[in-house]
């Protein structure tokens, strides 16, 4: 029985590896700009070396951050939710490419440039998930900013993921290693009297985001917590009991606080098995488990398209993007009242 259990666990891990690596891997390519494309700047704070845009499995982790900006060109034929890349030679008329970069020597230089493009003194910090390279996280950040027509600057916090499907445990350790740096970035971006940050985290990056907020609370840093203008945890790969313990340490969670779920999220289903069949926060289908915490759950199951194992439906499905944009417009008009659990429906054709 013991050997059978081990064999089943090995099979599930193999499936997990296969699922996580099913999408095409790529490195960001530089190309000349096109007048038909759209340039979307992404500001990046990363613990990786700046020449380390690909997988980093086994690389020595270093404390502290490097800062740069990448101008990401999005092609005129872009389909919302998609990242059009090519393994061969890329061009700006057809693919996501980088047209320019700029390195910042200090965190103050970085902050000054971000704030220069923040008309509302607010920035969006995106924390990527498991098995992401810097290139992949950078292009996803640009796609989110572009597709949601975000006016605030997009800041990618790229922690030291292995960028390797076999590196799940390595990535879980890297999340804990990076929490001081993420907290430091949030401090940097909220130095000014009116500065705010909207925190958007995906998958295991949600664990990292919650740990950074928890650390701030344990330090008694209510100033920083008050500068978080909202939180989204998308498909969070986070144990529900652990989330509740983190939330208890934080106290009153920043508002609004959204959890985006998908019931057929294959990556989270396998992650639950790998971690001992522990339920993951991104598979919740009601508020029962998180009652009283001040969170709103939005279920995207009806809008899934199967891409990437349904692990990023809110930003990879054109239908989901359209529905979210509609919710956003309603919120701006003050007409978006809904309960703490909302199961979205597919739009009519």
Which whole-number Å values give the CA distances from 165 to 151, 194, 325, in the listed order?
34, 41, 32
Interval 269-294 mean pLDDT: 87
**What is the reported pLDDT for 238?**
95
256: cis peptide before it, omega within 30°? yes
**What is the reported pLDDT for 50?**
78
Q: Provide the mean pLDDT of the chain.
A: 88
* pLDDT-based confidence at residue 55 (cuts at 50, 70, 90): low
Cα-Cα end-to-end distance for the chain: 51
Query: Within 13 A of 16's CA, how many CA atoms are on the CB side?
Result: 23
- State the DSSP H helix or E strand holding residue 102, giving kind and residue range, or none if neither: strand 97-104
pLDDT at 196 over 90: yes
Reported as a single tens digit per residue, the pLDDT across 148-175 is 999 999 999 999 998 888 889 999 999 9
Which residues, in sequence order, are CB contacts of 272 under 8 Å at separation 6+?
278, 279, 280, 283
**What is the reported pLDDT for 334?**
64
Which whole-number Å values give the CA distances from 212 to 60, 105, 145, 201, in the listed order?
22, 24, 23, 12
Q: What is the DSSP letter of 79?
A: P
Interval 218-240 mean pLDDT: 97
**What is the reported pLDDT for 1?**
41
Q: What are phi and psi of 61, to 5 degrees?
A: -80, 140
How many other C-beta atoms are found inside a 10 Å radius of the C-beta of residue 194?
9
* pLDDT-based confidence at residue 70 (cuts at 50, 70, 90): very high
**What is the reported pLDDT for 64?**
87
Which of residues 285 and 72 earns the better pLDDT score?
72
Which of residues 54 and 28 earns the better pLDDT score?
28
**What is the reported pLDDT for 9?**
45
- Please give the share of the chain, as a percent, with pLDDT higher than 70: 87
Q: What is the 3-state secondary structure (H, E, C) of 5-45?
A: HHHHHHHHHHHHHHHHCCCCCCCCCECCCCCCCEEEEEEEE
**What is the reported pLDDT for 259?**
97
Q: Which domains does the chain have, with CATH numbers?
A: 2-343 (3.40.50.1820)
**What is the reported pLDDT for 343?**
84
* pLDDT-based confidence at residue 336 (cuts at 50, 70, 90): low
**What is the reported pLDDT for 249?**
97
């Amino acid at each position: 029985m013991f050997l059978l259990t081990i064999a089943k666990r090995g099979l599930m891990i193999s499936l997990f590896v296969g699922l996580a690596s099913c999408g095409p891997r790529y490195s960001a390519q530089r190309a000349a700009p096109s007048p038909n494309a759209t340039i979307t700047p992404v500001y990046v704070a990363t613990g990786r070396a700046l020449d380390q845009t690909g997988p980093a499995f086994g690389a020595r982790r270093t404390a502290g951050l490097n800062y740069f900006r990448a101008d990401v060109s999005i092609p005129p034929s872009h389909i919302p939710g998609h990242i059009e890349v090519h393994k061969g030679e890329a061009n700006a008329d057809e693919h996501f490419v980088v047209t320019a970069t700029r390195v910042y020597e200090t965190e103050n230089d970085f902050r000054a440039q971000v704030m220069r493009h923040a008309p509302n003194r607010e920035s969006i910090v995106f924390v990527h998930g498991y098995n992401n390279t810097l290139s992949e996280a950078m292009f996803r950040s640009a796609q989110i900013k572009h597709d949601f027509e975000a006016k605030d600057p997009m800041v990618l916090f790229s922690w030291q993921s292995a960028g390797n499907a076999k590196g799940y445990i390595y990535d879980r350790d890297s999340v804990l290693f990076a929490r001081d740096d993420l907290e430091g970035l949030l401090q940097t971006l909220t130095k000014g009297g009116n500065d705010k940050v909207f925190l958007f985290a995906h998958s295991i990056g949600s664990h990292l985001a919650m740990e950074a907020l928890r650390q701030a609370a344990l330090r008694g840093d209510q100033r920083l917590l008050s500068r978080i203008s909202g939180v989204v945890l998308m498909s969070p790969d986070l144990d529900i009991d652990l989330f509740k313990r983190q939330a208890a340490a934080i106290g009153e969670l920043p508002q609004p606080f959204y959890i985006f779920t998908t019931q057929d999220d294959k990556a989270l289903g396998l992650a639950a098995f790998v971690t001992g069949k522990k339920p993951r926060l991104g598979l919740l289908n009601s508020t029962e488990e998180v009652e009283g915490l001040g969170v709103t759950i939005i279920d995207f199951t009806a809008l899934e398209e199967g891409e990437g194992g349904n692990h990023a439906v809110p930003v990879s499905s054109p239908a989901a993007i359209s529905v979210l944009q509609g919710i956003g417009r309603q919120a701006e008009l003050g007409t978006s009242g809904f309960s703490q659990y909302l199961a979205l429906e597919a739009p009519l054709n």
